[in-house]
Structure 1
Amino acid sequence: MIWAGLWKLEIKENLKLSYKIWQLYMMCCYAILSIGLSGNVVYVYLRDPARIIEAIGIAMSDYICLLKMLLCALRKTTQLLQTAVQDDEIVSSEDPTLNQLLCRHKKSVNMIGLFIVTYSFAFCVHMSFYGGLVQYRNYQMKFPNATEKPEYILSLWLPFNVQNHFDLALFLQCFLLLQGCAGSFASLGFTNAMISYAVIKLKMLKYYFRNFDKFPQEIHSKDPVHRNRMAIRNLENLIRKHQFIIRFIKDLNESMSIILLIEYSLSSLMLASIISQIMNSGDIAFAIYESDWYNYDSKVGKLIFMIVMRARRELTLNIGPFGPITLEAAKARMQVAYSYLSVISGNNRNN
């Protein structure tokens, strides 16, 4: 999000001015890119109507990216990011088992983040360079004596005569598209980070409940009254953690429902595989049931019962007005996409 110019949290004092300049630069790039793509729609409509669908599709991709960036920069989503960044509990733990869990989770999150950046950057490089430089080179080899430049290669409208300055126009297109892909990095990375944070908090909570006689304070006393008092204190502390996660996911749902609608339309299966781990929060009930709860009196049993009842209610993230994200929903969308491709392929073979 720093690269995209969308970082709203604190940064080092000596970097504030540099970041303000960088932020202004990125905003100018986004504005020029959006104006160029929008102008290209009008230009294509007037000069070459056969390419209007292509021009609208490219412009819509830019608008969707800008919308996701705007949603990521809202105050409420920034507060969620600040909550995750300032949570020291997910950094490390003195408990060896929990520390291993955190290390594995960090590796998986870093791998997913690296994949998102690599894939997005490679896609943008392919679109900008292959769609521009390579095609232009092929055009020159095919038509070495051509006097006109292939304007169909350009996806941007630029306020000068591109026939006279075609190399400059091609360079600006490649440069602005690469800068614009930073917004895609930011929105995808933010979505992945927030969902991954909720997942690791749920995994940690399951471990705490499974060993509630050790967290946050280990129970050593052999006095039944004191043991029960400490058990209740530990359970109350874990209940507060559970309530914090519930509130966080509710706020996340409110802030990201539109983002998730957009992202899910583009990558439903990938998101569903991650979010399904949140929907398995009911495993907390099994975790607490596997603890030594039967060694305590009825007050502890009542708290255990309350925890089990609340944990059995699913935590969900909604796709706008279309209901919760599930693997079944992702599968259905993949089947629809496959059916559509099958019909199109069949029609092409028949033709």
Structure 2
Amino acid sequence: MSEDYSKLEILKFSKNSMILAGIWRLPITQNPTIKRLYVYYSVFIQAYFPFFLIFLGSKFFILAFDVDNSPLKVFSTFAYMITSFVVMVKVVLVQKKRVRDIFAFINRTEEEIKKANDIDILKCHSALTRFCRKSNWATFFFTFGIGVAMIFANIVQRHEISQYNKKYNTTIPKPFPYELYYMTLDEEKYGTLFVWFNDFSILVAGFLVVSTQVIFISCIIFASSLLRMLQIRFKKMIGFTVNISVTLRELILEHQRVIEFVNNLNESMKYIMMLEYLLNSLNMAMVSFQFLAAEHNILIASVLFYFGLLVVQTFILGWSANEVKMQSLALADAIYESPWYEQNHAAKKTMIIMMMRAQRPLALTIGPFDVMTTQSALTESA
């Protein structure tokens, strides 16, 4: 059964997750009622999360100045606070005009790919779209695996403590998935309300983490797809053209569009990637602490999901960014593999210049520092 290439949409998963997170800023419908409801929903989510971060940060400072608290509790709260702050920064950045322009460019380019109806290019883009979808689902699975494990672990712990208090007539305080500042409210009296607040916050954070992560993964994979498709066009440019000069001019313009896209993508995400890599060591340390301190199998499951998420994020980003670099260099090979020797002097000269330009690789960087590659991923995970 042949594949339906008309449904190719590399941003489909990212778009849906960003809509659920309330941070998609391109049109989703023409219905004014749905538009208005989505605006209200978006405002609620984006106002809710900063308040959650304030409660989390306040609790950290309270814990930090209380010497009776365990170092694990203080460190875990600090790690959650920093991770949540980075998520909030990413939420702001993905709604910037530069990033919205990148989304619009991807949508336009995919429509052009479908209209061109070149089966080799469609197959190439389809293969990378499927890989992107699998990567996005892996991120979703591990992220919400953490959330579900945290919620169930808290249910088990609270039940056990409740049974212990009844049996021995004590009032040991029941834990929450993570520490928040509840001002002067009685945690025992309003415990159920606080549990629901914690659980809802986990779901909101999960949607924001997934949506802000998969969108950049999708954009990087799309950049790799553009470069692979450009290679195909270079290799086929002789057999499918009458005027080689016109074809070469079109391919040069296409190469320049890809270069501009990758540069814009790098400018939009390089500091986000720097924060991700800086937090990697902190998150690994938190995973180790929580694994050693875990008292229930379900808590261990939460830690394992967290570790899986870190591995998936780091290596997919590293591999995808490395592909952009390698595929940009491979353009020179694609030009050389075409029958360039059959062309006139002007065409040969143009193709040599194009090969020289392809020797300068396109790259995605970690802030103003190193290029993001599989090697950088291995270094950060070591």
Q: TM bucket by the smaller chain?
A: 0.7 to 0.9
Cα separation, 1, equivalents of 2:114 and 2:147: 33
Query: Is 1:260 paired with 2:280?
Result: no
| SS of 1:163 mapped into structure 2 | coil
- Give CA-to-partner distance per residue, 1:30-83, whole Å, 9 cap, x none: 133112212211332355443322222221111111111112122211211221
In structure 2, the CA distance between the partners of 1:91 and 1:157, relative to structure 1 (3 Å rule), is farther
1:177 to 196, 202, 210: 202
**Preserved contact between residue 8 and residue 73 of structure 1 (Cα < 8 Å):** yes
CA deviations over 1:277-316 (Å, ceiling 9, x no partner): 1011111111111111111110110111011001111111
Q: Which of 122, 130, 133 pairs up with 1:99?
A: 122
In the alignment, does 2:336 pair up with 1:313?
Answer: no
Whole-angstrom distance in 2 between the partners of 1:77 and 1:153: 34
305 and 39 in structure 1: CA distance in 2 versus 1, 3 angstrom threshold: same
Partners in 1 of 2:115 and 2:353 — Cα distance?
Answer: 29
- 1:332 counterpart = 2:379: yes
Q: Gaps spanning 5+ residues in structure 1: where?
A: 220-226, 338-351
The 5 A counterparts of 1:1-351 are 1-14=18-31, 15-45=34-64, 47=66, 48-50=68-70, 51-87=73-109, 88-91=111-114, 93-130=116-153, 132-144=154-166, 145-151=169-175, 154-159=178-183, 160-214=185-239, 218-219=240-241, 227=242, 230-265=243-278, 266=280, 267-280=313-326, 281-334=328-381, 337=382
Query: Does 50-59 or 146-155 show the bigger shift?
Result: 146-155
> Larger Rg: 1 or 2?
1
Change (3 A) 1:232 1:153: closer
Question: CA separation in 2, counterparts of 1:56 and 1:38?
Answer: 8
Q: Quick one: distance in 1 between partners of 2:340 and 2:177?
A: 69
Aligned residue type for 1:57: A
Q: How many residues align?
A: 322
* Distance (Å, rounded) in 2 between the aligned partners of 1:322 and 1:150: 45
TM-score under structure 2 length normalisation = 0.79
Partner of 2:4: none
* Structure with more relative contact order (C-alpha pairs < 8 Å, separation 6 or more): 2
What fraction of aligned residue pairs are identical, expressed as a percent? 23
What is the Cα-based RMSD across aligned positions, in Å? 1.9
Cα distance in 2 for partners of 1:91, 1:110 equals 19
Q: In the TM superposition, what is the alpha-carbon distance from 1:205 to its structure 2 partner?
A: 0.2
Contact 2:22-2:42 at 8 Å conserved across structures: yes
The aligned amino acid for 1:234 is T
